[in-house]
Chains A and B, each alone.
Chain A
Amino acid sequence: MPFEAYKLYQEYEPDKYKTSTQKKAEGVLKEAEAMRHAESKERTAGIEFQEARELLGEDLIGPEEIEKTWGVSPEEIPDIPFSREELERAKEMGQMLVLRIDKTADGKPMSMEAMNTILAKRWEKEKKGGLLNTAEGWRDRVTGSKDFAEVAPRAGWVLVSKELLPGSTSKNYIEQTEVIIKALREQAFKDAELPDEYEEAIREFEVNKDRLTKLMSENWQQAAKELSELKISQLTRQSLQEGIYDLALYFDKNGKRLLPNVYTWSNSRSSDGRLVSLGDFVAEGVDGGGWTPDGRGGLLGVLLSRRL
């Protein structure tokens, strides 16, 4: 039985020819999808959501955008945990409101691999460039295969800065955390009380700051681990996957690449224990790499990303 030559490349042309049965099956699926979409829209038609949409306009990335970008119609959409005042403040601070999901349409983790897979073909077709610069570079040099394929963003609504916090560049990880705390106190919660979770997280940071500063020069791996696990890092910094997720959605919706020539420092660690930066989002995709926590870079700052 000879080998059909077209089998060499057939897998890359799944849509070129379709049998009638395939077409019918697709029609049925499309119909089901439309019904789900209509139901999902109904669920999000609450006043708060509409208000938020009117207030933030292109800076609200919600279920519709998720469906368009990731092809996922979330079954349950959580209520937006922020008040109108907080959203107005966020708008002044140049933040966007993003709904993050952690699963793909087929129930797999919304990992970097999954995000890249979902977008690669369409973006190429629409001449939008790539998502990861490069996927294999991220996988082999930063995350390792397991994290690349398995770690997903944390689900829920978040407020994320679209630009680096002023004064956050050329600072090490601890100095950056101080910038974050200042932004929380003086901007995000100006004239309001900091929620308990933040107070607690700041206390934890203050108590450990000197020790961690010393540890950075003695054992950077351990320092990186502890810094990444600090409550304040978990509450106010994006993970690597969240960063990629947010950049992709915002670009797909608005056609603007955030962090075009700068980097934000995430709370994720690379496979060799460094704290991961991401950014320089250009046509080739999002770039980045690992830094030891005592590093400082002129282009390396931080975005404020808060979940509470």
Chain B
Amino acid sequence: MMSPEKMPHIPEVKTTPEHVLEETGKEAEVSKKEKLAPEEVEARVTELADLSAARPEISMHVRETWGGLTKKEREELKAKGEDAVIAHLEALKVDPELREFSETTLAEYDERIKELASNPDVLKSYKDRFETLKGTLAKVLSFEHLQKELRTAESTEQKLRLFYEQYGRSPGPIERKKMEGLRSRVTKLKEELQGFELDESTIDMLRRREIRGMQRDLEHYSFAETETRTELIREVLPDLTQGAPVLFQGETGSGKTQLAKYISQKYLGKEPAVISVSEQIKESQILGARGLEAGETIFKYSEFVKAQKEGRPVILDEVNLMPHEFAGILHDLLQKRVGDVWMHPTTGEQIPITAPIMATANLKSERYKQRYELDVATLRRFIGGAGAREIHYLDIGKKDKSGGYIAPETLKVLGAVLADRNGNIEWSETDASKKMDELKRFVSACRKIQEDFTLSIREGGEETLARTDRLAFRELVITLKDQIEIMKAWKASGFGEPLQEIILREFFRKAEISGRAAKDRENMVRVFIANKFFKDTKPEDFKIQGLAAQSLRQWQGKE
């Protein structure tokens, strides 16, 4: 049990109702004490808690519709007169209707909060509940702190091991002692975490904070760090911090580039330069070119070189398309580490290396493999760095007890998209199981499509697929990003629309593609039907060229 003095200090802050009462205090009068039955107090406290939890979101909307102005700044602007307000809002191009909606909604929130909190019994009871929550939060923070400390200690240990490995020498007596100390710290932290006493409410808060953390990552980086991604990041990070290169290979839409960007921004703290490689890439895009500036000929460095000079990581997207003529430059750079100097081949400038190169490559089907595969020499340089790592769709290969596909990490990301800031999804108790079933069937269908797409890419030949219950997908797949977009639209509909309508609107009707992709889309329809969607949908609703009504009826079990 953690002793109270070891618990982190949670500062004294005003509760939302106190804050609202204070803001409107001049007009608000605490009502004469209305006598309430205990259950009535409890009901009002619960309502107050719900309103207080939802208020920050609507308050943020208002702020956004004012271009980020705080309440104080908005009042200052209003004090300057109507013209100033109009000019400000016109510049923002915000729909006035939306702004008004947000503002009146916030006012209604405040009104109701004020009304409820003006009863002293309700306010006291609410504050008591808030104090309990603070106690739980202190526990949660302690637990998270231990986890963080453990990760840091493990990563330091790993980094040191790598350091000695790199220079091929063994640590001396003092270093050995230090490393031993680090190892015992890791053991001790693990024991502390194991012995940490958690109760239901602490676990509830830990899980909600996990969701919130994922929401923040999605907002800031368009990336959600799930367990497998965390594991991968932890594996490559020590090498990357020493400037070693990494290659992420994976199927289209598996999140390779986004992962590289995320590592760069969140873990290396630098904005990366993303270079899209193509077969047509020119030397000027890699090294730079001579140009004129104020009448003088100068050498203008490319984004690639500029990033190297500024110590920013470079992401070479689809590096496998890099023409062989640039292999020499690439190989030279891939061998550099932090502390080395790279000499620019044209200008001769000595550029110190401070950031790594990250590269991505699409896993190609057998048909294209020969043409687009990375040459061994380049591959070897990545393997000698932080590695050539494969990134697949989340949850690929995971199955439940009966062998059915499961997608825990995908569900976690989608849960974060569907939830509000407090980790709740606005599903009523009566609807929750139906909605959850809908969501799980959707995820299961997407998993099947991704599994079959992956297999199509790996094994190619239809004759291989024909022997199994798998479907061939050549070009199209439903990525995590697609799933997120569908979830956002579902949430925006207040979950009023059936999910299949959203899938139709946000996925099938958005792109009408002919040829092989149309076949892919047909196969997707089959997978969704197998997962109990589109039982009565008409062929024309899918907007798939050549989709035969008879085939659809057969899949729907009507013929």
Contacts and interface: CB of A to CB of B under 8 A. Distances in A.
B436 interface: yes
B408 interface: yes
B207 interface: yes
B233 interface: no
A95 to B, nearest CB: 30
A137 B208 contact: no
Interface string B404-447: 10101101101110111001111111001001100100000000
Interface residues of A, number: 33
B105 to A, nearest CB: 18
B469 A19 contact: no
B207 A6 contact: yes
A12 B206 CA distance: 16
B424 A3 contact: yes
Interface in B186-209: 194, 197-200, 203-204, 206-208
A100 interface: no
Contacts of B400: 120
Contacts of B418: 5
Interface stretch (A53-61, A128-136, A213-221, A238-246): A128-136
B207 A4 contact: yes
A110 to B, nearest CB: 14
Given A2-B424, A5-B418, A8-B415, A19 B203 contact: yes
Contacts of B424: 2-5
B208 A6 contact: yes
Contacts of B426: 2-3
A21 to B, nearest CB: 9
B403 A8 contact: no
Contacts, number: 99
Contact of A13 (B194, B399, B403, B408): B408
A141 interface: yes
B412 A8 contact: yes
Contacts of B429: 1, 3
Interface string A6-28: 11111011000111100100000
B401 A116 contact: yes
A137 B204 CA distance: 38
A132 B412 contact: no
Given A3-B425, A19-B203, A116 B408 contact: no
B124 interface: no
A134 B412 CA distance: 25
A3 B416 CA distance: 12
Contact of A124 (B206, B211, B398, B436): B398
A contact face: mostly helix, strand, loop, or mixed: helix
Contacts of B397: 124, 130
B207 A2 contact: no
A9 B415 contact: yes
B406 A12 contact: yes
A8 B401 contact: no
A162 interface: no
B403 A135 contact: yes
A280 interface: no
A137 B469 contact: yes
A8 B441 CA distance: 12
Interface in A129-168: 130, 132, 134-141, 149
B210 interface: yes
B198 A8 contact: no
B196 to A, nearest CB: 9
A139 B403 contact: yes
A9 B412 contact: yes
Contact of A12 (B197, B404, B408, B420): B408
B401 A17 contact: no
Q: Which of A9, A13, A117, A137 has the most CB of B within 10 A?
A: A9
Interface string A98-135: 00000000000000010011001000100000101011
Contact of A136 (B199, B403, B423, B425): B403
Contacts of A141: 469
Contact of A2 (B204, B406, B414, B425): B425
A10 B411 CA distance: 10
Given A8-B412, A137-B468, A19 B425 contact: no
Contacts of B200: 19
B402 A139 contact: yes
Contacts of B206: 17
A9 B401 CA distance: 15
Contacts of A116: 401-403
Contacts of B210: 6
Contacts of A130: 397, 399
Given A4-B204, A130-B397, 20 more contacts: A1-B429, A4-B208, A4-B423, A4-B424, A5-B416, A7-B436, A8-B415, A13-B408, A17-B207, A18-B198, A19-B199, A19-B200, A113-B401, A124-B398, A135-B399, A135-B404, A136-B402, A137-B468, A139-B402, A139-B403
19 contacts: A1-B428, A3-B435, A4-B204, A4-B207, A5-B416, A6-B207, A6-B210, A8-B415, A8-B439, A9-B409, A9-B412, A12-B406, A12-B408, A17-B203, A18-B198, A19-B203, A120-B399, A134-B399, A135-B403
List the 9 closest pairs (A to B, CB-CB), nearest first.
A135-B403, A12-B408, A2-B424, A5-B419, A5-B415, A117-B401, A6-B207, A3-B427, A9-B411
